[in-house]
Amino acid sequence: MAVTFTPIDPEGADRDELVAFMTSQTFPFHVRTSPTAEQISDAIAAGAYRDDDNASFWIDHAEHGRVGFFRFEDLSEDTPLFDLRLAEQWRGRGLGGEILAAATERVFTTMPEVRRFEGQTREDNVAMRRVFVRAGWVQEAYYREGWPVEGGEPVASVAYSVLRRDWESGTVTPVVWDAASA
Ligand SMILES: CC(C)(COP(=O)(O)OP(=O)(O)OC[C@H]1O[C@@H](n2cnc3c(N)ncnc32)[C@H](O)[C@@H]1OP(=O)(O)O)[C@@H](O)C(=O)NCCC(=O)NCCS
């Protein structure tokens, strides 16, 4: 696989690079679209990048070099979540699916107790929603007005997941939505 996850030491060697990455890019589909250095420093101090729940990595690509940031979240829970942020110059080049597939493989090969891996995105983050589908994830929920937007109306939050058994067998099991009325 062309993708390597390189551990980030947020309070040590990687601190400056992490602050620079987060403050030099815009993230139009995140709640905080243009984080400030102070906000990132506060998040580092609060353990948001590395603690019992969070583990952050640079995404290093065999051909392209460092293309972005990946954080595994909720690691002390049964179901981890994630945050994926490509650098602006690497967005829209077809890398997301491969990266999410690599992250999925990492979860299921290194966390034997984990049965499902989850993610959420805004309804209008079409690229991310396509990436979920490409990586074999399944949409499970659509939370209407569930995503706050600064200075605007809330949009929906869409939830996806992948099951270990689907990952192992290479299948994609759809959600049966009408089971109650069947
Ligand atoms: C969201 C993100 C991870 C997607 O990865 P990516 O490598 O840029 O996505 P891709 O280039 O593989 O595009 C995926 C699909 O979306 C389509 N697409 C890409 N940008 C699009 C856009 N702005 N509008 C509509 N479709 C778009 C592509 O054509 C592709 O379609 P296909 O699967 O039919 O071929 C990346 O753009 C990113 O890091 N964005 C900023 C941070 C972010 O929003 N992260 C998500 C947090 S959950």
Mean pLDDT of 39-45: 98
Q: How confident is the model at residue 151 (pLDDT cuts 50, 70, 90)?
A: confident
Q: What pLDDT is attached to residue 181?
A: 65
Mean pLDDT of 128-140: 97
pLDDT in tens, 109-119: 999 999 999 99
Q: How confident is the model at residue 153 (pLDDT cuts 50, 70, 90)?
A: very high
Q: How confident is the model at residue 9 (pLDDT cuts 50, 70, 90)?
A: very high
Nearest atom in ligand 1 to 92's CA: 11
Which residues are bridge partners to 162 per DSSP? Answer: 117
Q: How confident is the model at residue 177 (pLDDT cuts 50, 70, 90)?
A: confident
pLDDT higher than threshold 60 for residue 182: no
Select from 33, 82, 90, 126 the residue to mutate for testing ligand 1; criterion: most ligand atoms less than 8 Å from CB.
126
Assess contact for 107 and 72: CB atoms under 8 A: yes
> What residue ranges line ligand 1, CB within 6 angstroms?
27, 29, 84-86, 91-97, 119, 121, 125-128, 130-131, 134
Alpha helices in the chain (DSSP H): 15-24, 37-45, 96-110, 126-134, 164-169
pLDDT higher than threshold 70 for residue 164: yes
Mean pLDDT of 136-150: 95
Which domains are assigned to the chain? 3-174 (3.40.630.30)
Average pLDDT of the residues of the chain: 96
Kindly give the distance from the C-alpha atom of residue 130 to the centroid of ligand 1, in angstroms, as a whole number: 7
Residue with tokens 């987060």, as numbered in its chain: 22
Q: What pLDDT is attached to residue 178?
A: 81
Assess contact for 23 and 35: CB atoms under 8 A: yes
* Percent of the chain scoring above 70 in pLDDT: 98
pLDDT in tens, 61-99: 999 999 999 999 999 999 999 999 999 999 999 999 999
Q: What pLDDT is attached to residue 75?
A: 97
